[in-house]
Structures are given as C-alpha cells and as structure tokens.
Structure 1
Amino acid sequence: MLALYTPDYFRSDFCGREWKAFEDRQRSHRAVTGVDAKALIPVLWEPVQNIPPGAAHIQYDNLDLGENYAQSGLRRILASDPGGDEYRRIVNHIAHQILVAAEHFRIRPVNDLDISEPGSAGPFPSATERAEPGSRALLFVAARTSVNAHRKATDPGCHGQSPTDWNPYHAESPQPLVERASRLLEERGFTVRTEIVSDVLGAALDEARGQGQVAVLLVEASAAADEPFERALRAYDRSNHPGSAAIVPCDPDEAGDGPRGKAYWEAVRGALPFNWARGAGDPLPLLQSGIGSDQFEAVLHAVIAKAQNQLVSFLEILKINSLETPRTTSPSLPVLTTVATPRSRTGLAPPIAAHLSSHQTPFEKEQEDDP
C-alpha cells in the first residue's frame, strides 16, 4: 500500500480506515508466517508537522531520498522541477520499494471487507481535530424562496423566506441545508461563513482564495436559471477558482429517469457545463450532482478535502513561480526594426509597414475574408 503523506491525509477518516485495514492484513501475515511485512510504503507528498501516534512507528523521512525531500516533500520537488533528476531519482527509489514488497511479501487478501463499520475506524484524529487551527470555509447558496418557488414543480416544503432556508432533504430533517453543512464543517474545526450567490461571487471567491479559504457552492438545480444566480454561476463556470467546489442536491425523484430527473440533469448541465465536462472520468469531481440526503455528509467532507489540497497546490506553485521569476525594473518594450530599402526614382523611400507581430490586423483579416 502506498500512502501519500499530507496534513489532509491524516485528517481523513476514510484514509485512516484504509490504513487500519491494511495494517490488520500485515498483522495477520506476521501471525501466520512470523515475517514482519514492510508493505506499507509512505511517500512524503507534503510536509507533515505531527504524525499521529498510530502511524509514527513507520519511518518516512528516508535519508536516501535527500534533505530536500525530507524538508519539503515530493510535491514541492515536482512543482519546482517537473521531470528533473531529483524527482526521477526519488520516484525510481519508491518504485524499487514497491517491487521488493510485491515480490517478498505475499499478504493474503481479505474478503467482504467493510471499512465503514464503527470498529474499522483508523488511528488518525477524530473529526473535531481534523482542520488546522484558523481554517475557514465559505458556503454560497443559490436557491429559491417560498415567494418565487414554482410550487407545481417544486415541493413547497423545501423553501422559506430566504435562500438560506432551502432544505431539499426536509422529509428526513427539518434543518436547512446551509445549517447542516455549517454544522458538519464546524465539527471538523472550520469557522464557517454563509453568503447568497450574487454578481460578486467571483470577487468573493478570489478574496477567499487569497486568504487561504475554501468554498462550497450549494445550488438548487431549478434555481440555477434564475437571475442573478444564472449570471453568477455562468461566470463561475467559465473561470478557474482553485479551492472551490459545487454540490447540487436532489431528491430520489430527481435522481431517477422520470420527467423530474430529466429536468434536473438538464438544469445541472445547463448551469455548469464546463465543470460538468471537467468532471468526466474523475472519481471525485468538484461538481457533485445527484446527491441525496444519505450521501451529503460524505460528499461534503470529500470535496472540502480535495478543495483544500487543490488550493494548497495552487498557492505553492504561485509561491515557487514568484521566487523563480527574475525581478525587472521596468517591463520590456517592443522594438521596431527597419530594413534598408532602395530609394525610388523620386528620391524618396517607399513606405514600410511596421508590425509588432505577424498576426493579421482585424482590417487585413476582413479584407481577406471578403469574396
């Protein structure tokens, strides 16, 4: 098993359960064969300040991989010199470890393994300890109110006086979705702020990213075509906002193949077409649609973790680029060069057309396009 060490890895309940399941298999192998299988291979992807006690017995800062790896992690090395000699050397070393483990330790598989059971919890911190101190999250909601909801097409119990009262899962719980999401994130240690989607969504996301905050959009599919939601969501969809995700909840009828299901999926694809396309083939897309009440908690935690990792990577690359970009006192200006031309019989040189680039001017292109 290859474990990519990051701060979020050790805050993940699922990763902790996966860790425990594999360690249990190693213990069973040792009990049967008397051999201590070293088949759990750690890779320091990002620096981790505090390794949980349940994982501290595994040596991860391999001196053979160099001081740079031990201090900064493999992600930093990859970002600073993609495909460089140091990165290739480390990857080759890890690949050799995997090959040795596969050849020497025949750990038996486990049938009918269920890591979701309470007894399968791993040795990592509990939910209330997962977020770093000071971590913040933004929740943006785009939903109708009881005044503008289309009662014939939408369950009136879903809506209230404000978009923040929206509760697509009201049959299971009276708690509005925003309150439910806030509670789940606060249990992880986040400080949560809620806003309604508006025309300043893009600016708010840019500001949040600059402050290291993650954001989740909670979108009602049937409200996505309403203004100002449609305009704001279209702009969001066309832009790149690292550290953000969108969840479009639904009820069982909307997730099915009936008329309501068709309208739901058309609304999702119509509101966020680029995010929809980017998520094709991704096991955990940052646009989560078709999410029922029983899935919401797990999906929220998963996309928050992915958005955090994405934001960390983005900010790290920005930092590296800023360090590598040479400082200049003033921007370089284009230089116009002329070629000596023979004088005409009148004694005057013919006019020379000077262009800053080889691209056609709009007028030239228009002339060329005319039949």
Structure 2
Amino acid sequence: MEPYFFLSYARRRGPRVLVKRFYDDLCAELRQELRRLHKGNTVPFDRPFFDVQSIQVGQDWNAALGEALGRCRTMLALYTPEYFRSDFCGREWKAFEDRQRRHRSVTGVDAKALIPVLWEPVQNIPAGAAHIQYDNFDFGENYARWGLRRILAADPGGEEYRRIVHLVAHQVLVAAEHFRILPVSGLDLTAPEAAGPFPSAAERAEPGSHALLFLAARTSAEAHNGATDPGCHGDSPTDWNPYHADGSDPLAARASRLLEERGFAVRTEIVSDAMSASLDEARGRGQVAVLLVEALAAGDEPFGRALRAYDRSNHPGSAAIVPCAPEEAGDGPRSKAYWEAVRGALPFNWAKGVGDPLPLLQSGVSSDQFDGALHAVVVKVQNHLVSFLGTLRTSLLEMSQSLPPPLPVLSPAPPQSDRPRPGPPPTPARPFFEPIPIEEQEQDR
C-alpha cells in the first residue's frame, strides 16, 4: 500500500476536530479529482495516513509510522508554531525529505511531494524548512494572514475553504500521480540519527536550564534476596543498570550525561512520597523532569504509592521512561510480568498514550532506543512546559484585569470648625471599560 499522503502535524492534547475535518474533506476531494482524471472509472485509492485513524490499538506505532512515511506518495505538513518546535514533526520531515533527495539523485527529477499547508500563522520558519515555498497567492489573503484552520472554523462549508481544499488536492494529485517517489523500508523515527531540523536532538538547552531525574529501582538486596546479582542492581537505586549487557554505566549516569551534553544541569532524586512536591517546585522554576522506572519495582512501597499519585496528577514538563531488558520484550513470563507492572503502576498515562506517536510514558524501551527516546521526550516536555507557563501567565493577567478597581484611600476627618460643612462630594462616574475581545478558542485541543 502507498498512502496517497501522510498528514504530518503537531499533536495537541484533546480532540483533533478541525484536523480530522480537513483530512476527511481532502480525502473526499481527492476521490472526486481521481474520478475526473480517470473519466469516471473506479481507481484504487490508498487511504491517506492520519495517525489517530491509521494506527490501531496495540500496533507498534514506530513501525507503523516508519512504514507509512517510507511508502506514502506525498506528505502534507500542517504549519503551526508548535510544528516547528516539535522534535517528532522534525523527524517526520527529515524522513520524507531524505526520500525526496534520494529520488532526485536517482531520477534527476524534483518531485515537490512535500506539500506545506499554512494551518496557523508562523512568524519564523526554521532554517531547515526555509527552502520550501509555502506562500501561495492563489490561496488568498485570508489564508496568508490567518491560516486555513481559522478559515475552516469560521465557515466549514464556505466557498473560500472549499476552494483551498480543492487547490491542495490538486497539488497532492499532481505529485502522487506523476512522480511516485521511490519507497524506502525500515525507517526508525526514534533513532538518534533520525532527528530532524527543528529542533535537532543535539540542540543545546537554554543557559541555566535544569533537569530533574527521578529513580524508582530496587537495590541488589531487594531484588535478589541474597541470590546472585546478574549485574543490573547495586547498593542504591542509582546503581540500577537494566542494560548491563551493553555497558557498565548505571542508567542514571547515562541519562545525566546525555542531558548534560544538551546543556542541562541535572539533579537526581529517588522516587518517594515527596516527589509530587519536588515536581511542583520544578514546574514553577521551569525545569523538566524525567522518571526512570524499573517496572518490577513499581509495586514496591513507597515507589508504588508515589507513582500512583504521579499518575493521577497532571505534571506538565514531566515524562516517564520504563526500560525493557531483552528477556522482557518477548513472549515469555518475564514479558507478561513487565507489561502488567507498567499498566498497574501508571494506568492513566498508559491509556493517555494510546494513539500518540510520542507518548510521555515511554515503555518497552531497549538499550539502543534509550538515547533517542530520552532526547525526544525531553523536547516534548519542554514544549509542554513553555505552553503551560505561558497559558498560566495569560490567565493571571486576565484575572488581574478583571478585578474591580481598588477602593479610594480615605483621608482622616478634618477637625471640626464653626464653618458650614460642605455637602458630600459628587459620586465619581462609574469607569467605563471597552470590552476585551475574546480570542478564538482552540477547538482541536
């Protein structure tokens, strides 16, 4: 199968109503265009790829994305400010653009199969995407000023929206039918070398950035009850090394080194009942946090109690990684115990990650996947934290503007005299405020 297009967009929390509407409308328009092209004859139409519809529950999302990106005929990139802050969107971009370059080097033809759609206005296009022309005079001034999302929200069945969808469908049709860029197989979007241009996984953090690592892991005595230690545990949870067959560094040391290479100052703590307070403090300071959890330790107290409290709470700027040893990745009894432990400790995060190409609960992470997974989730939680703090500041500002004006300070009563007392001062006119315009609400969050 060769999906007619791959829809690449920044995943937001909540329902994606408008993105889904655009996807459905574009599919319908493409079917009509194909019928016109083939004079009414029925033609095969490989269903375009939209993650929340095309990846089934229980399916390996990385394999599904890699397969679709390696075989799709075109890729539509929905431009938003979040798109160009998304590490994973950058990975999708790079994977498809690499295919275009390979096609150009083999055939000498520039397929122009990466099609930008201005979903929301973007102030600064990063250098890695600046060579793609996205301004289109035919789409009109409203499209250039407001983006397609606002046009759709204002009038879903309107002439302007339908005309733009028709023009996008024509671009897809030309690239898909006339170029058919060469497919590739085996794409792994989580690999470190798959990092795209916005931002690169090697991009350094802002000066003064801090990251917090939380460890939930057993010691050798707790894990083996006096039996021979196979090498993954030590005297402290910070000695835990689930990847001991591949290297001697404990996981906390490996994660700290990776984050320090990115420019973070790193502090490591053991998961305890005080973790929620530490996370709240880190969030207030704009610090990201990553939990490194041994699955079979998640039921031990106080780890289990602290993790369940974390799971019930919303902590913007945090993510959890649950490494997986080779014997826990197969079909044996250790694999079953591993997945039951993960679901039991973090059920809400487990359910929330279904259908998300980059969930904030990363489970089943092997040694060769760990570095890429850590970089990817740190970028994602940074973006979540920036968005959360910005929304919080805006809400506080709006609240302060809506408060009534302070009461006037009354001066002490003057000493009485024989003069006639003046009448009461005139009541000041009630201040008049211009109505504050309400910004358009996010309908697809």
1:160 corresponds to: 234
- 1:278-304 deviation per Cα after TM superposition (whole angstroms, max 9, x unaligned): 223333322122222122122222222
8 Å contact from structure 1 (residues 202, 236) kept in 2: yes
Give 2:130's aligned amino acid.
Answer: A
SS for the counterpart of 2:222 is coil
Give 1:327's aligned amino acid.
Answer: S
8 Å contact from structure 1 (residues 159, 167) kept in 2: yes
CA distance in 2, matches of 1:38, 1:251: 40
Q: How does 1:1-371 map to 2 (within 5 A)?
A: 1-3=75-77, 4=79, 6=82, 7-9=84-86, 14-15=91-92, 17-24=94-101, 27=104, 31-32=108-109, 37=112, 39-41=114-116, 43=118, 49=124, 51-52=126-127, 54-60=128-134, 64-65=141-142, 69=146, 83=153, 95-96=165-166, 98-106=168-176, 107-113=179-185, 127-151=201-225, 155-325=229-399, 327-329=402-404
Pick closer, same or farther for the CA change 1:154–1:25 going to 2, 3 Å: same
8 Å contact from structure 1 (residues 149, 156) kept in 2: no
TM superposition shift of 1:240: 1.0
Q: Which moved more, 1:36-45 or 1:192-201?
A: 36-45
CA distance in 2, matches of 1:297, 1:213: 20
TM superposition shift of 1:134: 4.0
Pick closer, same or farther for the CA change 1:39–1:246 going to 2, 3 Å: closer
Pick closer, same or farther for the CA change 1:191–1:217 going to 2, 3 Å: same
TM superposition shift of 1:194: 1.6
8 Å contact from structure 2 (residues 87, 200) kept in 1: no
Aligned pair count reads 319
Give 2:402's aligned amino acid.
Answer: R
SS for the counterpart of 2:108 is helix
Give the alignment's Cα RMSD to 1 decimal: 4.0
- 1:126-159 deviation per Cα after TM superposition (whole angstroms, max 9, x unaligned): 5433544444322111111233333478944112
Residue ranges of structure 1 left out of the alignment (5+ in a row): 331-371
TM-score normalised to structure 1 length: 0.70
Pick closer, same or farther for the CA change 1:67–1:193 going to 2, 3 Å: farther
Pick closer, same or farther for the CA change 1:154–1:89 going to 2, 3 Å: farther
Q: Which moved more, 1:243-252 or 1:60-69?
A: 60-69
CA distance in 2, matches of 1:119, 1:299: 12
- 1:218-266 deviation per Cα after TM superposition (whole angstroms, max 9, x unaligned): 0112221222212211110111112211111121222233222222222
CA distance in 2, matches of 1:317, 1:329: 22
SS for the counterpart of 1:247 is strand
8 Å contact from structure 2 (residues 212, 287) kept in 1: yes
2:57 corresponds to: none
